[in-house]
Amino acid sequence: MKAPRLFLLLLAFVPLVGCIRSRAIVTSEPSEAMVWWNNDYRGRTPIEIPFIWNWKYQVEVEKEGYKRQKSIEFFRTRPWFIEPFGLICEALPLRFTDTRHVHYVLEEKEESL
């Protein structure tokens, strides 16, 4: 009888467990540029996009009247989120954030005559 009660008690604490939230905030100059993240349209700048560490992302930013800009972003794991520290961070009843800022400056297209 004690084992099921202990299991239910532990299950009740699951929502209180923290986690690590990783996100990239993509901005551009000028703003309101369209963003493709790994060939998926995500919206217009400024935009917040979740990501996974140690992964390459193809980012394309475009706005009418400006040249389309393509890049590959590689987000490395922060040292304090490497295992076993990452497991500890996940188990604590706190939220940890890893926010990366990526900014693009778009060039105007040259008008052809």
Strand order in the sheet with 69-75: 40-44, 34-37, 55-62, 69-75
**Domain CATH code at residue 72:** 2.60.40
User: What is the C-alpha to C-alpha distance for residues 99 and 49, in angstroms, rounded to an integer?
Assistant: 10
Considering its fold, how many domains does the chain have in total? 1
Quote the pTM value: 0.71
Q: What is the pLDDT of residues 32-76, one digit of tens each?
A: 999 999 999 999 999 999 887 768 899 999 999 999 999 999 887
Q: For the segment 76-85, what is each residue's pLDDT rounded down to a tens digit?
A: 777 766 677 6
* Residue 35 lies in domain: 18-105
Helices marked H in the chain: 2-12, 85-91
Angstrom distance (rounded) from CA 79 to CA 70: 28
